[in-house]
Amino acid sequence: MAVRRILITGGAGFIGSALVRLIITATPDSVMVADKLTYAGNLDSLSPVSTHRRYAFRRLDICDGPALRQTLEDYRPDCIMHLAAESHVDRSIDGPADFIRTNIDGTYRLLEAARRYWQSLDAPQQGRFRLHHISTDEVYGDLADTGGLFSETTPYAPSSPYSASKAASDHLVRAWHRTYGLPVLITNCSNNYGPYQFPEKLIPLVILNALAGKPLPVYGDGMQIRDWLYVEDHARALYQVVVSGKIGETYNIGGGNERKNIEVAQTLCALLDELAPRPIGVTSYSDRIAFVADRPGHDRRYAIDAGKIQRELGWQPEETFDSGLRKTVQWYLSHEAWWRRVQDGSYYSGERLGLAR
Ligand code: NAD
């Protein structure tokens, strides 16, 4: 196939920016990032590719239907990869409204804009077009300690406002395929970690709190199990799906790395003890681990069966949990300027664009 033009919603976020960096540096395709630049959008994360001639950026709220339609008309993409979302479970518990708005209403507006655009294309262009919706394994709910794995046919049973809003968006995407024939692909992925992750999430939070000598918060008893995937492996999987995935299909993506949260915190502390040792006589970073009140509705275990994408599309993660975690710690140690700007608020891209927060 010829070189693609890919519109990426949410491309200034953690996973979106990894995907954009991958596409610009490792493929011949062009990218337009369409992003509202909420607190989670960070143009610093796109600076490695932002001057590239195949890269473009447009500030866009996916809930703004007319602006979406105009963007599709202007850019004329072959593919849309939809990552824009409110993504942090704790924020969804404190204030679900933004999650309902962006994740559900925004996805609906994107589907409608995409449908009109797709219907206006000629037959060869229609045949090339696809909309890839990026979702989460949290839609499947809690595996408890059953030993089972989430497959593509596991019934949906979301627990939090975040996962419920993502489940709703998945249903809408499937309905637009079944009802209107819109060529869609869906992926549901496990917990990501890696470079450029906003430090409200567990792994960067533990690293940066440890370096600052602060307590390292772990929810409840720390026995919640997550299946961790290095973000660059996720980005490669997403690109593989948009290029080779079968229209209408869902693919689960996971690293096969089930770890208890407490183990993750302890492993990070051991890596920091090695890579950023504290002064002689001062105890290990792990002494700062502090159990805090559990999150309401906290699922105990998520774990993905990624067999389908491995068998059908030949995708495999390149990083083990140990190699990916080591790379992540090294990245945070060598990119202090990036996280300092997040911590002091100066990263906030909207202000750089002259916009109110
Ligand atoms: P993120 O919070 O880091 O980034 C979200 C991006 O979407 C930000 O750039 C933000 O500015 C943008 N955005 C938010 N609302 C918008 C709106 N109304 N219009 C346009 N842009 C908007 O999220 P992430 O961790 O990179 O996750 C990306 C996607 O992957 C999400 O859909 C999420 O549900 C899914 N996902 C995440 C994980 C994970 O572990 N982080 C795992 C599986 C799936």
DSSP 54-116: TEEEEE--TT-HHHHHHHHHHH--SEEEE------HHHHHH-THHHIIIIIIIHHHHHHHHHH
Residue of 39, 54, 41 lying closest to 15 (CA atoms): 41
Between CA 188 and CA 195, with CA 190 as vertex, the angle to 5 degrees is 115
CA–centroid distance, 111 to ligand 1, in Å, is 17
Q: Bigger pLDDT: 238 or 221?
A: 238
Q: pLDDT (tens digit, 9 = 90+) per residue, 254-292?
A: 999 999 999 999 999 999 999 998 877 678 899 999 999
**Residues forming the active site:** 137-138, 162
Nearest CA to ligand 1 atom 19: 61
Q: Which long-range contacts (CB under 8 A, 24 or more apart) does 40-43 make?
A: 40/13, 40/14, 40/86, 40/87, 40/88, 40/198, 41/10, 41/12, 41/13, 41/349, 41/350, 42/12, 42/13, 42/17, 42/196, 42/198, 42/342, 42/347, 42/349, 43/12, 43/349, 43/352
* Cβ neighbours, 10 Å, residue 345: 10
Question: What's residue 351's pLDDT?
Answer: 56
Query: Would residue 138 be called left, alpha or beta, if left means φ above 0 and alpha means ψ between -120 and 50 degrees?
Result: alpha
Question: What's residue 356's pLDDT?
Answer: 46
**pLDDT above 60: residue 59:** yes
Q: pLDDT (tens digit, 9 = 90+) per residue, 170-183?
A: 999 999 999 999 99
pTM for the structure as a whole: 0.96
CA–centroid distance, 226 to ligand 1, in Å, is 19
Question: What's residue 357's pLDDT?
Answer: 45
CATH fold of 5-198+230-260+296-322, please?
A: Rossmann fold (3.40.50)
Q: Are 286 and 271 in contact (CB under 8 A)?
A: no
Q: Which of 83, 192, 227 best tests ligand 1's pocket when mutated (most atoms within 8 Å of CB)? A: 83
- Report residue 299's pLDDT band, with 50, 70 and 90 as the boundaries: confident
Q: Are 222 and 291 in contact (CB under 8 A)?
A: yes
Q: Which of 38, 71, 135 best tests ligand 1's pocket when mutated (most atoms within 8 Å of CB)? A: 38
CA–centroid distance, 264 to ligand 1, in Å, is 23
Question: What's residue 355's pLDDT?
Answer: 53
